[in-house]
Amino acid sequence: MDNLISLVNKIQRACTALGDHGEASALPTLWDSLPAIAVVGGQSSGKSSVLESIVGKDFLPRGSGIVTRRPLVLQLHKSDEGSREYAEFLHLQRKRFTDFAAVRKEIQDETDRETGRTKQISSVPIHLSIYSPNVVNLTLIDLPGLTKVAVEGQPESIVQDIENMVRSYIEKPNCIILAISPANQDLATSDAIKISREVDPTGERTLGVLTKIDLMDKGTDAVDVTCFVHDLDAKTFKSLVLDALGVIMF
- Residues 197 and 206: their CA atoms lie apart, in Å, by 9
Provide the residue-wise pLDDT of the chain in tens; the chain has 250 residues: 566 666 776 776 777 666 665 554 544 566 666 778 899 999 888 888 888 988 889 999 887 667 888 999 898 888 899 899 999 998 998 899 999 999 999 999 999 998 877 778 888 889 999 999 988 888 899 999 998 887 776 777 889 999 999 998 899 888 899 999 888 887 778 899 999 999 999 988 998 888 887 777 666 665 544 554 444 555 565 565 555 545 444 3
Domains, the chain, in order of start with CATH, read 2-13+38-249 (3.40.50.300)
- Residues 34 and 4: their CA atoms lie apart, in Å, by 11
- Residue 210, judged by CB atoms within 10 A of its CB (0-12, 13-18, 19+), counts as buried
